[in-house]
Amino acid sequence: MNQLKGKLYLLCAFSLAGTSVVSARFVTGKLGNFTITAVSLFFALVFLVLLCGRQLIRCLSQMSFRDFGFLILQALCGIFLFRMFLLNGLRNTSAGEAGILTGATPAITAILAIAVLREPAGSRKVFGILCTVIGILVIQGVLTPGSGLDLKHMGGNMLVLCAAACESVFNTLSRISALRNSEESAMPSNPVSQTTIVTAIAMVLCLIPAAFEHPIKRLAAIDLLEWTALLWYGIFVTALAFICWYAGIKRCGAFTAAAFSGMMPFTSMLLSAALLGENADWRQWVGGFLIIIGMFLIGSKGTNITLPINRSIRLKEKHFQP
């Protein structure tokens, strides 16, 4: 039952996160990247502070320097760098293609789970990673003779892939933190408080660079649609998605989280077609199909292959019951 709740939380988290590509599309080019991130995080922070109240003070009082360091890294990778790469990438690629390319997150997370967490990998997971890599190459046009690669467009896609890599690092850091807290009980793992602290750290990181983007003048020029996109980006893509994420990752392993992260490209692709009217060509459909296959293979159970496994971390995974 606990695993089922964790999977439902992860499903909600990545479905909401998948709307980030479309909501960001409405404000990209009209506001600076750091301004978009800072304003959306401000909306998220107001919502979260009202939601968690005194729990935040209690959480901060019991937090060690190492706990705070982990949260700084999570804020840096999961919000600051992820959004910087994504927003810059959207300047040179479509929202639909960017959404598909975020499907690389499961494969990158699976590789990190093997390399860092030493989780055992099955042959299906390895094949799933290969499917994801081939799918990305198809979307980029690398495997298509005479495709006439546009270096600017490819550069945009590479930035989106960097965003997916940052999301994967964030996923791995969150799992490490959840495992350590379960053993040491170092910090109360309240999802709302964790999300509030991470959001506040990320907003502070954005404030100084945002000041050089003439934020007041450019914010005064946007209309209701852009303000709605910023509000959605803050409350739903950040606050609610991260609350669901922290609630899910303490109940599920990294491979399960990797599989559910495939909901990001699926949601992005549907919304890009429905709201932005973007059409995908055959390379995007084939590449997207391969990435989705990779997502399901990574999340499935397969026969184990020989890999070095850190027994202490595996015991933590087996013993962990939040």
pTM here? 0.76
Angle between helices 263-275 and 20-27 (to 10 degrees): 50
- The tokens describing 105, both together, are 């997150």
Where are the domains positioned within the chain?
A: 2-319
Contact 256, 6 (CB under 8 A): yes
Q: Which residue has the tokens 């945009």?
A: 156
Which positions ≥6 away from 235 have C-beta within 8 Å?
A: 43, 44, 47
Report the candidate in 277, 274, 207 with the shortest Cα–Cα distance to residue 45: 207
Alpha helices, H only, the chain: 2-17, 20-27, 33-52, 54-61, 65-75, 82-89, 95-101, 105-115, 123-140, 151-184, 191-211, 215-220, 224-232, 241-249, 254-260, 263-275, 282-299, 311-319
- Buried b / exposed e over 148-165, threshold 16 CB at 10 Å, is eeeeeeeebbbbbbbbbb
Residue-level pLDDT, tens digit, the chain, 322 residues: 777 888 889 889 988 988 988 888 889 889 998 999 999 999 999 999 999 888 888 888 888 888 888 899 999 998 999 889 988 888 888 777 787 777 777 778 878 888 887 777 678 777 877 887 787 777 666 555 555 556 677 888 899 889 989 988 988 888 887 777 666 554 446 888 889 999 999 999 999 999 999 999 999 999 999 999 999 999 999 999 999 988 888 888 777 777 777 677 778 777 877 787 777 677 777 877 887 787 777 766 654 443 333 434 343 444 444 4
Give me Rg for the CA atoms of the chain. 19
Could you write out the DSSP letters of every residue in 195-206? Answer: HHHHHHHHHHHH
- The tokens describing 306, both together, are 């020989």
